[in-house]
Amino acid sequence: MLGALAEATTRIEIGALVTWNSYRDPDLPADMARTVDHVSPGRPILGLGSGWSSGTTQRDCDEYGYEFGTAGSRLDHLGDALPRIENRRARLKLVARHADIWHGFGDPEQTERKHRILDEHCANSGRDPADIERAAGVSSPSYDLAPLREWISGISSSGPGRWACSSARTTAREAWASMARVTQRLQDG
């Protein structure tokens, strides 16, 4: 699918938001990203994570026969995989050492705090924080977006440059409609 999108477009960057590292041997997503890079030079985004502690992830592991492990063991597994691919605090340490883009979730205060922590980890590992593009996830809320709008307008160049709008809708059409509403509400002020 990503290869087809890459071939059919000329400007957009191509990639899944975040793929859980433990679903596949790390060489497979690395090879998949290289393939997309051949089709769309410089446009693939490889998003890997350690897996989040949700009922969905646990259920997936049970159904596929994977070991779910602990948050710490999943981070260790991701840490072992990242050097082969080369592309909360422990995760941000890995981001500071290996990532080109960091995608985080949370309200404005949480996201801003995570940016500061990432900047500290970058400084400790000798990396310029500006080398990591920042992204932030925004769910499709029905609540007042004024605090988010205010935060977006006040962020510095170190703030998120990308925004991902997630939706728990059941169909693609519903998800797109929900994202369009959030985007419009943010633009309308």
Three-state SS at 145 = coil
Examine the pLDDT at 6 and tell me if it is beyond 50: yes
Residue 139, burial from CB neighbour count under 10 angstroms (0-12, 13-18, 19+): middle
Three-state SS at 53 = coil
Find which of 94-98, 148-152, 183-187 is predicted with most confidence, using mean pLDDT.
94-98
d(CA 45, CA 32): 11
Please give the angle made by the CA atoms of 62, 171 and 143, to the nearest 5 degrees.
Answer: 95
* Least confident span in 74-83, 130-139, 142-151: 142-151
Residues 6+ apart with CB under 8 A from 89: 117, 121
Find which of 21-25, 101-105, 153-157 is predicted with most confidence, using mean pLDDT.
21-25
Question: Cα-atom radius of gyration of the chain, to the nearest Å?
Answer: 17
d(CA 133, CA 159): 9
- Of 136, 139, 130, 125, whose CA–CA distance to 185 is shortest? 139
Examine the pLDDT at 108 and tell me if it is beyond 60: yes
- Of 104, 95, 116, 100, whose CA–CA distance to 158 is shortest? 116
* Mean of pLDDT over the chain: 75
Q: Give residue 169's pLDDT band: very low, low, confident or very high (50, 70, 90).
A: very low
Q: What residues pair up with 101 in beta bridges, in sequence order?
A: 133
> What are the tokens at 113?
């705090």
Are 164 and 133 contacting, i.e. CB atoms less than 8 angstroms apart?
no
Examine the pLDDT at 82 and tell me if it is beyond 60: yes
Three-state SS at 86 = coil
- Of 181, 104, 5, whose CA–CA distance to 116 is shortest? 104
Model's pTM, two decimal places? 0.51
Are 108 and 144 contacting, i.e. CB atoms less than 8 angstroms apart?
no
What number is the average pLDDT over the span 130-142? Answer: 70
